[in-house]
DNA sequence: CAGATATATACTCGAACTGAGTATTATCCC
DNA sequence: GGGATAATACTCAGTTCGAGTATATATCTG
């Protein structure tokens, strides 16, 4: 065991998000035998004037990508959560600053690929139905985790968290909260890899979703949560859209991100009345059905309304 | 000039907030001749398991304060924004992680004092009237800043930002955006101290509000913005209230934080119907007027409603 | 070309929420 | 008891929201 060092390194990671064929996707770097990773690199205080500039440089080198919209998410510094399937923590302590970036391009560079984010969070996609794994696997395993608590007090707290995260009334924004609960309960691979076994959860647990390197899945969870929240009060979806689009295409992208179905008629009423889009007079040429008008984003709303966004309306599964 | 070092230090700073006699206040550390500072200290990777634990330790030592509710705000790493009125940047690059903490205690330790946050942001308090300095000083100075732009394009962008920040329709959450605009325009002391003079803004500008050490006023701006936003969808105000309180006391605290006046009858309807509070059956004994019932926070709402918070209703100045 | 199918778009309706106000009640002070 | 002050109850109209019906315009099938 090496002596603890007091050196610090700052890791910059980006969850770069695009939506392709109704799948919200992240750009991951994959090497043979290793877990998927977000594009990342260390912050270099000599050459990087700001954290964000450092991030842009790293991402550019690793993925030949020119970041557009970016937003800082969170800074994680937890000891022991910066490992890989290969081995231990690096000698110096890594503090990890996560970013969210949005893009419409889906080019791939060597060693990078786009992957649907629901690979990593299969329980977060409620567009078709409530994912069966929640009732079949997650809730029972979490209940077991609650029962295994050291005291009745802690057990009760755990039950409360389970209820908030997976109980009645799905709050699509609690992505990070849910991931952290699953982590603590030993239901994701990272927990065991990080050396968490042997607390009050055994090794026979299911491992949900696809694991990622370091704390990258935690960063991705933060990214999804932030994006799902921001959607409702800032017009960020349009960063993910082509210059013109039909209202249904827009709706599908919002639904993909939120992991929910929306009421079609109300959705168009909303975006229209909020002045988020304007018609172009041109029309799509669909394989079937009536052609839809092509719309574009009205940049002016940023000036007009205080907090324009795509408020999520209903949450039905079948639309008429 | 010393050679640039590639060492990094992580600074942890906390904006600790309480509300005392209708003034939202922050705990600042002040030494003779130096600017006010937030409690802060470097992150020690050997002894601190997480960033937040490091923060708690520093704050505890400097202010004898035991932090309750805390929340990470943002991580700043900009070169040149970590200076004091005394001198230059330290040799190693400082990356600054800001936190927000809420408390009801207003004890003071040696060298610390509570100070109303509107000392630092006098343009943010609209409770009585729109602060006169906005029309008298800020907007004219910002217009001058826009005119001084190097190109018509940049001038237009600046005018747009001015309009969003200080124009029609006050959005009380844009605290950071406004501070950053004033910084760039050279209207706060920190800009000049950080060496920003000589761009396209002269030294004859007014210096608005009280300056703080390093980037602490920026962190405080972030804290206010976050708190004003969070207020509306999470019951965080109650961290700042005594165990029991009248509805008017609660309203005054919300108003103090938001910097706005609210409609009294609607405010009580809101908190009641949202199930945020419950009556205790006891009553206040006011100097004048009818006694008010004392209420307490209903912790259960956290389980019941998905996003309970004190939505800000109206924005009138006179109440009936 | 008729009818089925698929999609876009317009419109309706009631419930809930919001902003703004009036009315009534309880207490203190003189 | 009357005025001042504040708490609390209630009203009302405008808006938003969820949900649904109706109609228009395409393609496909035969």
Residue among B6, B49, B75 minimizing CB distance to A72: B75
Enter the DSSP assignment of A212. B
Q: What is the mean pLDDT of residues A145-174?
A: 90
The distance of Cα B95 from the centroid of its chain, to the nearest Å, equals: 20
The separation, in Å, between residue A246 CA and nucleotide C6 C1' comes to: 16
Mean pLDDT over the full length of chain A: 86
pLDDT at B240: 95
**Per-residue model confidence as pLDDT tens digits over A205-220:** 889 999 999 899 999 9
Residue among B8, B76, B306 minimizing CB distance to A45: B8
Whether the beta carbon of A314 falls within 7 A of nucleic chain D: the reply is yes
Chain A residues lying within 8 Å of B160, measured CB to CB: 303
The separation, in Å, between residue A274 CA and nucleotide D26 C1' comes to: 28
Which CA-bearing residue is nearest the C1' of D4? Answer: B289
| β partners of residue B100 | B15, B71
pLDDT at A201: 56
| β partners of residue A26 | A17, A115
**Per-residue model confidence as pLDDT tens digits over B217-230:** 999 999 999 999 89
Is A275 a residue whose pLDDT tops 90?
A: no
Nucleic chain C contacts, protein chain A, residues 273-312, CB cut-off 7 A:
286, 288-293
How many Cβ pairs closer than 8 A exist between chain A and B?
Answer: 83
pTM, entire model: 0.88
Q: Could you tell me the pLDDT band of residue A86, with boundaries at 50, 70 and 90?
A: low
Higher local confidence (pLDDT), B5 or A318: B5
The distance of Cα B91 from the centroid of its chain, to the nearest Å, equals: 29
**Per-residue model confidence as pLDDT tens digits over B128-150:** 889 999 999 999 999 999 999 88
Which of B5, B11, B45 is the best substitution to test chain A (most A C-beta atoms within 10 A)? B45
| B77–A164 CB contact, under 8 Å | no
Which CA-bearing residue is nearest the C1' of C11? Answer: A265
Mean pLDDT over the full length of chain B: 86
The separation, in Å, between residue A99 CA and nucleotide C17 C1' comes to: 36
Which CA-bearing residue is nearest the C1' of D28? Answer: A288
E strands of chain B, at which residues?
A: 8-20, 23-29, 40-42, 69-76, 93-102, 112-116, 244-245, 277-283, 293-297
**What is the distance between the alpha carbons of residues B112 and B266, in angstroms, rounded to a whole number?**
38
Is B206 a residue whose pLDDT tops 70?
A: yes
Structure tokens belonging to residue B287:
């100097």
**Per-residue model confidence as pLDDT tens digits over A231-252:** 888 889 999 999 999 999 999 9
Q: Could you tell me the pLDDT band of residue B299, with boundaries at 50, 70 and 90?
A: confident
| A4–B46 CB contact, under 8 Å | yes
Residue among B72, B93, B160 minimizing CB distance to A45: B93
| B50–A160 CB contact, under 8 Å | no
Higher local confidence (pLDDT), A294 or A7: A294
- A100 to chain B, closest Cα gap in Å: 14
Whether the beta carbon of B268 falls within 7 A of nucleic chain C: the reply is no
pLDDT at A307: 61
Q: What is the mean pLDDT of residues B226-244?
A: 92
The fraction of chain B above a pLDDT of 70, given in percent, is 89
The distance of Cα A184 from the centroid of its chain, to the nearest Å, equals: 19
pLDDT at A320: 36
pLDDT at B90: 57
pLDDT at A6: 73
Residue with tokens 């039909």: A246
Chain A residues lying within 8 Å of B4, measured CB to CB: 45-46
H/E stretch holding A98 reads strand A93-102
Residue among A5, A77, A92 minimizing CB distance to B50: A77
Q: Could you tell me the pLDDT band of residue B318, with boundaries at 50, 70 and 90?
A: very low
**Per-residue model confidence as pLDDT tens digits over A13-67:** 999 999 998 999 999 998 888 899 999 888 988 888 899 999 998 888 888 778 8
pLDDT at B320: 36
Contacts of B130 (CB under 8 A, 6+ apart): B170
Q: What is the mean pLDDT of residues B177-201?
A: 84
pLDDT at B220: 97
Whether the beta carbon of A306 falls within 7 A of nucleic chain D: the reply is no
The separation, in Å, between residue B314 CA and nucleotide D10 C1' comes to: 19
Q: Could you tell me the pLDDT band of residue B251, with boundaries at 50, 70 and 90?
A: very high
- B195 to chain A, closest Cα gap in Å: 15
Q: What are phi and psi of B69, to 5 degrees?
A: -65, 125
Contacts of B319 (CB under 8 A, 6+ apart): B261, B262, B263, B264
Is B86 a residue whose pLDDT tops 70?
A: no
| Nearest-nucleotide field for A262 (CA, C1') | D18
| B45–A75 CB contact, under 8 Å | no
Residue among B4, B51, B160 minimizing CB distance to A46: B4
Structure tokens belonging to residue B28:
């600042």
pLDDT at B223: 97
Nucleic chain D contacts, protein chain A, residues 278-297, CB cut-off 7 A:
287-291
Is B2 a residue whose pLDDT tops 50?
A: no
- B53 to chain A, closest Cα gap in Å: 10
Is A4 a residue whose pLDDT tops 60?
A: no
Structure tokens belonging to residue A115:
């992957």
pLDDT at B1: 43
Residues found in chain B: 320
Chain B residues lying within 8 Å of A163, measured CB to CB: 303
pLDDT at A317: 39
Instruction: Give A8-51 as a DSSP string.
Output: EEEEEEEEEEEEETTEEEEEEE--TTSPBB-SEEE--TTT-SSH
Whether the beta carbon of B308 falls within 7 A of nucleic chain C: the reply is no
**Per-residue model confidence as pLDDT tens digits over B34-79:** 899 999 888 988 888 899 999 998 888 888 778 889 999 999 988 8
Higher local confidence (pLDDT), A182 or B57: A182
């Amino acid at each position: 065991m090496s002596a603890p060092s007091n050196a610090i390194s700052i890791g910059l990671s980006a969850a770069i998000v695009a939506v392709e064929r109704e799948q919200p996707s992240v750009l991951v770097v994959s090497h043979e035998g290793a877990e998927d990773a977000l594009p990342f690199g260390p912050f270099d205080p000599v050459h990087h004037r700001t954290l964000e500039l450092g991030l842009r440089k790293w991402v550019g080198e690793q993925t030949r990508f020119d970041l557009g919209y970016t937003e800082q998410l969170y800074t994680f510094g937890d000891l022991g959560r910066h490992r890989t399937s290969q081995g231990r923590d690096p000698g110096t302590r890594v503090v990890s600053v996560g970013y969210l970036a949005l893009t419409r391009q889906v080019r791939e560079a060597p060693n990078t690929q786009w992957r649907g984010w629901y690979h990593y969070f299969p329980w977060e996609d409620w567009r078709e139905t409530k994912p069966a794994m929640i009732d079949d696997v997650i809730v029972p395993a979490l209940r077991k985790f609650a029962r295994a608590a050291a005291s009745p007090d802690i057990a009760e707290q755990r039950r409360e968290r389970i209820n908030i995260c997976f109980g009645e009334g799905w709050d699509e924004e609690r992505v990070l909260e849910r991931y952290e609960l699953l982590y603590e309960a030993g239901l994701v691979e990272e927990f065991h890899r990080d050396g968490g076994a042997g607390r009050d959860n055994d090794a026979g647990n299911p491992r949900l979703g696809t694991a990622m390197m370091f704390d990258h899945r935690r960063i991705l969870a933060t990214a999804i949560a932030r994006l799902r929240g921001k959607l409702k009060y800032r017009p960020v979806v349009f960063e993910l859209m082509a210059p013109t689009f039909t209202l249904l295409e827009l709706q599908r992208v919002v639904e993909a991100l939120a992991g929910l179905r929306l009421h079609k008629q109300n959705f168009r009423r909303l975006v229209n009345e909020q002045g988020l889009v304007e018609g172009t007079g041109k029309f799509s040429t669909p394989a079937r059905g009536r052609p839809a008008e092509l719309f574009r984003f009205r940049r002016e709303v940023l000036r007009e309304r205080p907090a324009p966004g795509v408020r999520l309306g209903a949450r039905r599964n079948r639309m008429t």
